[in-house]
Structure 1
Amino acid sequence: MNKKHLITFVSALFLWTSCSNNSSSHFISDTAYRTQVETDFQSRQTTLSEGNLFTVFDQSMTPEEKEAMSFLYAYMPVGDIADYSGEFFLKNVQTSFQAKQEMPWGKQIPEDIFRHFVLPIRVNNENLDESRMVFYQELKDRVKGLSLHDAVIEVNHWCHEKVIYTPSDARTSSPLASVKTAYGRCGEESTFTVAALRSVGIPARQVYTPRWAHTDDNHAWVEAWVDGQWYFLGACEPEPVLNLGWFNAPASRGMLMHTKVFGKYQGPEEVMVQTPLYTEINIIGNYADTAKATIKVVDANQQPVPDARVEFKVYNYAEFYTVASKTTDANGETFLTSGKGDMLVWASKDGQFGYDKVSFGQQNELTVVLDKKAGEAYTIDLDIVPPPEKAKLPEVTPEQRAENTRRMAEEDSIRNAYVATFFTDQKAKDFAKEIGMDATVATKLLVGSRGNYQTISSFLKEASANEEQKKAAIDLLQRISAKDLRDVSREVLDDHLKNSPVVGDIDPEIFAQYVRNPRVANEMITPYKAFFQKAIAEADMKVFQADPMKLVDWVKNNITIDEECNLGGAPIFPEGVWKARIADKHSRDIFFVSLSRALGIPARIDEVTRKVQVFSGKDIIDINFQAAEQTATATGTLQADYKPIKALEDPKYYSHFTISKLTDGRLQLLNYEEGDVDMGSGATWSNLLKKGTQMDTGSYLLVSGTRMASGTVLAQLTFFNIEEGKTTKVHLNMRENKDDIQIIGNFNSENKYISAETGEETSLLATTGRGYYVVAILGARQEPTNHAMRDIAAEKDQLEAWGRKMVLLFPNEEGYKKFDAAEFNGLPNTIVYGIDKNHAIQKEMVAAMKLEHANTLPIFLIADTFNRVVFVSQGYTIGLGAQMMQIIHKLEQ
Structure 2
Amino acid sequence: MSNYSALALLLCPMTVVAIAGEDAADITAALSRAGENRPQIEEALRRSADDQREGMQFLVAHMPQRDLQSLSAEFLLENVELAYQAWRAATWKQRVPREIFLNHVLPYCSINERRDNWRKDFHTRFRKRVQNSKTISQATAILNQTIFREFNVRFSTKRPKADQSPYETITAGLASCTGLSVLLVDACRAVGIPARVVGTPLWSDNSGNHSWVEVWDQGWHFTGAAEPAGEQLDRAWFSGRAATAQRDQRMHAIYAVSYKRTPLSFPLVWDTSIDYVYAVNVSDRYTQTAQQLAAGMISVSFRLIDEQRRQRLAAELRIRDTTGKPALSGTTKDERFDPNDHLTFHLKQGQSYDLDLRWSGQRLSKRITPEKEGVVYTFRRRELQPIPKKP
Q: Residues 710-859 of structure 1 correspond to what in structure 2 (within 5 A)?
A: none
Structure 2 residue 147 is matched with structure 1 residue 159: yes
For the aligned residue pairs, the C-alpha RMSD in angstroms reads: 3.0
Corresponding residue of 1:806:
none
Corresponding residue of 2:24:
38
TM-score between both structures, scaled by the size of structure 2: 0.60
Cα shift at 1:336: 11
Residue type of the alignment partner of 2:177? C
Distance 1:37 1:233 in 2: 33
Greater C-alpha radius of gyration: 1
Write out per-residue CA displacement over residues 288-315 of structure 1, whole angstroms, 9 at most, x where no aligned residue: 249xxxxxxxxxxxxxxxxxxxxxxxxx
Structure 2 residue 242 is matched with structure 1 residue 251: yes
Distance 2:34 2:71 in 1: 14
Cα shift at 1:182: 2.2
Structure 2 residue 126 is matched with structure 1 residue 139: yes
Distance 1:273 1:123 in 2: 13
Deviates more, 1:183-192 or 1:48-57: 48-57
Residue type of the alignment partner of 2:254? M
Distance 1:172 1:159 in 2: 19
Write out per-residue CA displacement over residues 488-543 of structure 1, whole angstroms, 9 at most, x where no aligned residue: xxxxxxxxxxxxxxxxxxxxxxxxxxxxxxxxxxxxxxxxxxxxxxxxxxxxxxxx
Residue type of the alignment partner of 2:228? P
Residue type of the alignment partner of 1:261? S
Corresponding residue of 1:284:
283
Distance 2:275 2:239 in 1: 33
215 and 109 in structure 1: CA distance in 2 versus 1, 3 angstrom threshold: same
Contact 1:75-1:276 within 8 A present in 2 as well: no
Contact 1:263-1:276 within 8 A present in 2 as well: no
Corresponding residue of 1:179:
170
Write out per-residue CA displacement over residues 687-722 of structure 1, whole angstroms, 9 at most, x where no aligned residue: xxxxxxxxxxxxxxxxxxxxxxxxxxxxxxxxxxxx
Q: Residues 607-622 of structure 1 correspond to what in structure 2 (within 5 A)?
A: none
253 and 169 in structure 1: CA distance in 2 versus 1, 3 angstrom threshold: farther
Corresponding residue of 2:257:
260
Contact 2:245-2:283 within 8 A present in 1 as well: yes
Cα shift at 1:60: 3.2
236 and 336 in structure 1: CA distance in 2 versus 1, 3 angstrom threshold: farther
Residue type of the alignment partner of 1:96? A
Distance 2:276 2:171 in 1: 31
Structure 2 residue 67 is matched with structure 1 residue 80: yes
Structure 2 residue 101 is matched with structure 1 residue 114: yes
Corresponding residue of 2:86:
99
Cα shift at 1:78: 1.4
Cα shift at 1:170: 4.5
Cα shift at 1:118: 0.6
Contact 2:180-2:226 within 8 A present in 1 as well: yes
Residue type of the alignment partner of 1:97? Y
Distance 1:94 1:83 in 2: 19
Cα shift at 1:105: 1.2
Distance 1:154 1:58 in 2: 35
58 and 112 in structure 1: CA distance in 2 versus 1, 3 angstrom threshold: closer
Residue type of the alignment partner of 2:77? L
68 and 58 in structure 1: CA distance in 2 versus 1, 3 angstrom threshold: closer
Corresponding residue of 2:41:
54
Cα shift at 1:53: 4.0
Distance 1:109 1:276 in 2: 29
Structure 1: unaligned runs, 5 residues or longer: 1-27, 266-270, 291-334, 338-893
Cα shift at 1:259: 1.5
Corresponding residue of 1:231:
221
Distance 1:48 1:81 in 2: 5
Between the two proteins, the alignment pairs up a number of residues equal to 258
Aligned partner (choices 190, 211, 221) of residue 212 of structure 2: 221
Write out per-residue CA displacement over residues 386-445 of structure 1, whole angstroms, 9 at most, x where no aligned residue: xxxxxxxxxxxxxxxxxxxxxxxxxxxxxxxxxxxxxxxxxxxxxxxxxxxxxxxxxxxx
Cα shift at 1:175: 0.7
164 and 336 in structure 1: CA distance in 2 versus 1, 3 angstrom threshold: farther
Contact 2:31-2:41 within 8 A present in 1 as well: yes
Residue type of the alignment partner of 2:79? N
Write out per-residue CA displacement over residues 812-866 of structure 1, whole angstroms, 9 at most, x where no aligned residue: xxxxxxxxxxxxxxxxxxxxxxxxxxxxxxxxxxxxxxxxxxxxxxxxxxxxxxx
336 and 102 in structure 1: CA distance in 2 versus 1, 3 angstrom threshold: closer
Cα shift at 1:200: 0.5
Cα shift at 1:187: 0.7
Distance 1:67 1:289 in 2: 36
Residue type of the alignment partner of 1:212? W
Corresponding residue of 2:376:
none
Give the SS at the match of 2:222. strand
Give the SS at the match of 1:83. coil
Distance 1:198 1:109 in 2: 12
Cα shift at 1:58: 7.0
Cα shift at 1:50: 3.3
Structure 2: unaligned runs, 5 residues or longer: 1-17, 247-252, 267-273, 290-330, 334-391
Contact 2:265-2:275 within 8 A present in 1 as well: no
Aligned partner (choices 56, 60, 63) of residue 50 of structure 2: 63
Write out per-residue CA displacement over residues 165-192 of structure 1, whole angstroms, 9 at most, x where no aligned residue: 1113654111122122222000100111
Residue type of the alignment partner of 1:175? P
Residue type of the alignment partner of 1:232? F
Distance 1:209 1:253 in 2: 11
Residue type of the alignment partner of 2:130? V
Distance 1:232 1:127 in 2: 24
Q: Residues 193-212 of structure 1 correspond to what in structure 2 (within 5 A)?
A: 193-212=184-203
58 and 235 in structure 1: CA distance in 2 versus 1, 3 angstrom threshold: closer
Cα shift at 1:114: 0.4
Distance 1:101 1:95 in 2: 10
Cα shift at 1:74: 1.4
Distance 2:133 2:44 in 1: 37
Distance 1:140 1:205 in 2: 19
Write out per-residue CA displacement over residues 466-488 of structure 1, whole angstroms, 9 at most, x where no aligned residue: xxxxxxxxxxxxxxxxxxxxxxx
Contact 1:103-1:140 within 8 A present in 2 as well: no
Contact 1:160-1:238 within 8 A present in 2 as well: no
Contact 2:203-2:245 within 8 A present in 1 as well: yes
Contact 1:160-1:236 within 8 A present in 2 as well: yes
Cα shift at 1:138: 0.5
58 and 72 in structure 1: CA distance in 2 versus 1, 3 angstrom threshold: closer
252 and 60 in structure 1: CA distance in 2 versus 1, 3 angstrom threshold: closer
Cα shift at 1:47: 3.5
Give the SS at the match of 1:172. coil
Give the SS at the match of 1:281. strand
Residue type of the alignment partner of 1:234? G
